[in-house]
Amino acid sequence: MTFILAVLLFVVAGGLIDRGLPWPAPRSRESGR
């Protein structure tokens, strides 16, 4: 149960909070782009 809670907490909730931050685009460090 702790593992499932942790996955929900960090993957879902953490991911949602993180999406609102001004990070570079996922492909921004690809060579030649």
Partner 1 sequence: MIAGHFGFSAAVKSRELQCPLWALMLATAWLDVVFVPLYLAGIETLEHAPGASGYGGSIIHADYTHSLVGALLLSAAFGAAAFAAWGRRNALVLALVAFSHWVLDLVVHRGDMPILPGNLGSLPRLGFGLWRVPLASMSVELALVVAGAWLYWRAARAAAAAAGHGERRAAVAGLFMLFGGVLVLALDVTGALG
Q: Tell me how far, at minimum, the Cβ of 11 lies from partner 1, in Å.
A: 5
Contact code string over 6-25 relative to partner 1, x by CB under 8 A? xx-xxxxxxxxxxxxxxxxx
Query: Dihedrals φ, ψ of 16, to 5°?
Result: -70, -45
Give 5's Cβ-side CA count (13 Å radius): 2
Q: Tell me how far, at minimum, the Cβ of 12 lies from partner 1, in Å.
A: 7
Largest Cα span, the chain: 44
Size of the site for partner 1 (CB under 8 A): 31
Residues binding partner 1 (CB under 8 A): 1-7, 9-31, 33
